[in-house]
Chain A
Amino acid sequence: MNIVATIQETLDYEIAGIKVIEMIEFAVIFIIAVIIARIARMAVRRRFKEKLSPTTLNNMEKVVYYGIILIGFFIALPKGVSLGGLLVAGGIAGIVIGFASQTVVANLISGLFLMVERPVEIGDSIAVGDVSGVVKDIKVLSTTIRTWDGIYVRIPNEKVFNSNIYNYVAHGARRFEYTIGIRYSDDASKAIDIIKGILAEHPLVLKYPEPDVFVSELGESSVIIAVKIWAPSSHWYSVKKELLWKIKTILEENGIEIPFPQRVIWMAGGEKKEGRGKGKQR
């Protein structure tokens, strides 16, 4: 009896006008709300994973997760706690915390602007400052990027917001280029036709805008051919990796070679001698 009475007394004990039992109820309901929110978030992810873009799905998950937690918070609030008072207290606390942590507030506001302006989305290939990789998450305070070599990088949103952002996949198509040097003795027109033929055969080299292949420079050791190619932004890198060696191989099969650097040296009073390298004399 004595123990029961002690427990009852403890539960009825008031701290700042709120009974201990109400605090326990608050904690239990809040924890249940967090568990439900996590289950709901997982359900949303499973249900819409293949149907929504990563950014939309991420936003939907956050709305569901924090929405349920917020509802749980208000349900769990003890009766003695005034919502108005809580908001006022929260506001005052917010101002105090804001002054104390201006960087956090700056990141928060930058994060909100990033979410509204949306210069990058989850899954985009981007470069911010000296970091480049794939955007994995855009949170309220920070943006996380997986670099090309697989390293996790967390960038404060203020830095993202104030930096030049290069989004490599924001547009449907992007251009890349090669410069290919051939010998002076080779037929540049033939080389251009061969390269154009290779590009025409590749499905992901865009038909429009048409690829541009032309002699761009008469170099010291070679005739420089510029090859400018448009490809879908989502696949440009694989196209770029694939084509250069193919062009080199097919040019060589057709007797067109890429020369080593060379220099013709005239000896005073002597014979003309060729410099090192395979290329022929100009």
Chain B
Amino acid sequence: MNLQTEEFEIEVTGRGKRRLYRRRAGDEEVEKIIYADDGNIVVCPVEPVNMPKIGAAEHLMVELKKSVIFEPDTKNTFYVKFPIEVGVFTVDKKDVERIDIFTTVKAKYALYGPPESGIICRWWRSDVYAEEPEVNPLKEGVLRVDVENKYHEWVELQKVVFRAFDMKIFYNEHAYMHGMLTLLKKTTGETSFNTRKPKNMHGAIDIYAAKGIKKFDKKYFMEWGFK
């Protein structure tokens, strides 16, 4: 197997049970030996919170380059871009195991909320699009955000925070997520994901499911405002 792009190269060589996995992205090179009778290698986008240190964050913060203001009691949709992290997995009938995760975009983190109780998020800044934007599929994915303003006042939005645990990524030519944001007050809201698979798209492997963690529908409560 050989997957070569301008941004990275993945190669699996060898015969019989023993295979050599080799990946190059930028200056970084990774080599791993795989012993397997059966099974496939799957390359797909994963929740963008793992680079450069797994465990540094469990949330994604998308900061909007331009604020968006929502009228009371309305429903609207906009699109933003999100950073791509690529996961490489070995898959057989019994189990899914992560071999490697990498990215070709620069990672940055930010604190959402105060230092004593806030959370570390993978930070990303995006333009706001009325329609699905074109993306470089190796660097960016499309995140559709359905916003419902349930509050009786106008609400201004400069950032939105999603929990990686709730994410469901789909892909074909590019990665895609469908997020939802409910504005409850001027400074609080809830985010979640629509997990229904869009037509002509594949469901990406979920890194939490790959770890054996059972997922359940849950919402993330944005309690520290939208600015």
Contacts and interface: CB of A to CB of B under 8 A. Distances in A.
B107 interface: yes
A172 B119 contact: yes
B115 interface: yes
Given A50-B212, A51-B213, A203-B106, A173 B55 contact: no
Interface stretch (A59-67, A93-101, A228-236): A228-236
A171 B117 contact: yes
Contacts of A207: 108-110, 123
B30 interface: no
B118 interface: yes
B203 to A, nearest CB: 23
B115 A232 contact: no
A230 B111 CA distance: 9
A105 interface: no
A174 B115 contact: yes
A50 B56 CA distance: 16
A112 B56 CA distance: 31
B119 to A, nearest CB: 6
A203 B110 contact: no
B57 A232 contact: yes
Contacts, number: 56
Interface residues of A, number: 18
A204 B118 contact: no
B120 interface: yes
Given A203-B108, A232-B57, A172 B123 contact: no
A51 B212 contact: yes
Interface in A44-75: 50-51
B134 interface: no
A173 B111 contact: yes
B106 A172 contact: no
Given A172-B120, A173-B118, A206 B56 contact: no
Interface in B65-120: 106-112, 115-120
Given A204-B109, A206-B110, A173 B212 contact: no
B98 to A, nearest CB: 12
Nearest to B106: A203
A206 B213 contact: no
A204 B115 contact: no
Contacts of A90: none
B14 interface: no
Contacts of B212: 50-51
A232 B118 contact: no
B52 A203 contact: yes
Nearest to B124: A207
A209 B123 CA distance: 12
A208 B53 contact: no
A209 B118 CA distance: 11
Nearest to A232: B120
Which of B51, B106, B110: most chain A Cβ within 10 A?
A: B110
B115 A230 contact: yes
10 contacts: A50-B212, A51-B211, A171-B115, A172-B115, A203-B51, A203-B52, A204-B52, A204-B53, A208-B111, A232-B109
- The 9 lowest CB-CB distance pairs between A and B, nearest first, are A203-B107, A207-B110, A208-B110, A173-B111, A232-B120, A207-B123, A172-B120, A173-B115, A171-B116
Interface of A: 50-51, 171-175, 201, 203-204, 206-209, 230, 232, 234-235
